[in-house]
Amino acid sequence: MGPRTEFYEIAVRSGFYGLDQSSLQGKKDNVRKFWEDMSIKLWLRPLIEERLARRPRLRVVDLGCGSGEGLELLSHIPVRSHADHADRDFLVDAEAIEYAGVDLSPAMVEQGRRNYAGRPNVRFVQADLSAGFPLAGEPPFDLYFSSYGSLSHLTAAALTELMVQLFKHAGDDALIVLDLLGRYSPEWPCHWPGSNREMLPYNMAYLLPAAERTPDRIEWFRNTFWSADELEALVRGAAVRARRRAEVAVLADRSIFVGRHIETGLFGAPAVPLRYQVNRLLDHGYRGQLEHLRVNLSPLAEHAATYPRVWQALNRHAAQWNSVIELVAALMVQRDDEVRRLIEMTPAPLSDDMKMLAWLCRNGERFPVADVWASVIGPQVAMVLRGLELGQEEALGCGHALFAVVRVKTAE
């Protein structure tokens, strides 16, 4: 009998030997995992901690759940301090979540059922949320969750009706999580003049390799884009109609310069590789390429006069972002005078992050890694950039997504 290879034949056919670039591009790239998912986890953490202190289990409905991504996200929220939780990594285990995923797509629902087969606490329901909340006959949920633009597939009128139904369904002190496409993202200046009263063209061409983003391969559909004012008005109006009190506990712009379409150039802005570069920073094998990491807003300058608040907010954010990139550039070539100047002219807390980066660079040889820039400093630069976004004081709808957590209370 000759040498046997059938194990390898199966392994190749199962896809284990394909080229893996998943950290630098694709659906679950580094930015999705370490920036976008993590921002959502950090916004939710204090609110979920509060709830878990009262009751150790969570009842969750995931609206537009895909194949159950919300369950993965919610069951992987890092604990705040290992001193308090030496025996666990995450705030709440998947087993402690009573999870119902609702999605329009039969294929998504089927995939979800396959992913979580044999898990009695997980179920999937196929339903159209634009026709209303399909689980209205069930006991209330603690968390009415949605992520990654699911509810932007609904018209503003349908989302308003859905919110009224959720407000009525929720018990005291439930949370509703919304993640909608932001109107004023630098990815799509062509949509800035719109309003949530009309749905506008959108696509997911970013999932295709750049060379394949040809008109015949791109499928366009319509989505609703939201400004912060429009979302707050929706929440207020729906709460009044449901006779509930609503408090917006979190309102934030997510993925301001790293949204997926920042590199497709399909919506009237030039394609720039910012997300790819942050993916490189986050990967332990690659360095970010500084010449491609600077944010240049000048192609959007024609909108400055019409949208002064958006323009100012984007410019403030870009100036901070670029000062981090300048600092890294100065650290790389050991220009200590420039490093000092940048740190001195920057207010806290960013100046503290800059000092930390300077310390890492100056102590690089202490780290037992092959390339300290790729493995240690790059990921921390990305975290500082993410921290800038998390620290934004006011949300306008100028990120890829507008993220909100609404606390539902009984009206007084």
The binder of ligand SAM chosen from 130, 195, 351, 375 (CB under 6 A)? 130
Q: Is 67 or 277 the residue whose CB approaches ligand SAM more closely? A: 67
The binder of ligand SAM chosen from 29, 36, 103, 353 (CB under 6 A)? 103
- 129 part of the interface to ligand SAM, by CB under 6 A: yes
Stretch that binds ligand SAM, among 13-21, 89-97, 114-122, 149-157 (CB under 6 A): 149-157
Stretch that binds ligand SAM, among 3-11, 50-58, 97-105, 328-336 (CB under 6 A): 97-105
- 157 part of the interface to ligand SAM, by CB under 6 A: no
> Tokens standing for 217?
């391969």
Residues 199-258 interacting with ligand SAM (rule: CB under 6 A)? none
CA distance 32 to 11: 27
Q: Is 16 or 221 the residue whose CB approaches ligand SAM more closely? A: 221
- 155 part of the interface to ligand SAM, by CB under 6 A: no
* 3-state SS, residue 199: coil
Q: For the chain, how many residues are written? A: 412
Q: Is 185 or 277 the residue whose CB approaches ligand SAM more closely? A: 185
For every residue of 263-304, DSSP letters joined together read GT--SSS----HHHHHHHHHSTT----GGGTS---GGGGGGT
> Tokens standing for 138?
């069930």
The binder of ligand SAM chosen from 30, 31, 35, 69 (CB under 6 A)? 69
- 150 part of the interface to ligand SAM, by CB under 6 A: yes
Q: Which residue has the tokens 């006069």?
A: 305
Q: Which of 340, 328, 312, 335 is nearest to 385 (CA)?
A: 328
Give 10's contacts (C-beta < 8 A, 6+ positions apart): none
CA distance 262 to 258: 6
Q: Is 226 or 311 the residue whose CB approaches ligand SAM more closely? A: 226
Q: Is 324 or 401 the residue whose CB approaches ligand SAM more closely? A: 401
> Tokens standing for 310?
């958006």
Stretch that binds ligand SAM, among 63-71, 184-192, 209-217, 242-250 (CB under 6 A): 63-71
Q: Which residue has the tokens 């379409």?
A: 261
> Tokens standing for 49?
């901690």
Binding site for ligand SAM (CB under 6 A): 64-66, 69-70, 103-105, 108, 128-130, 147-150, 153-154
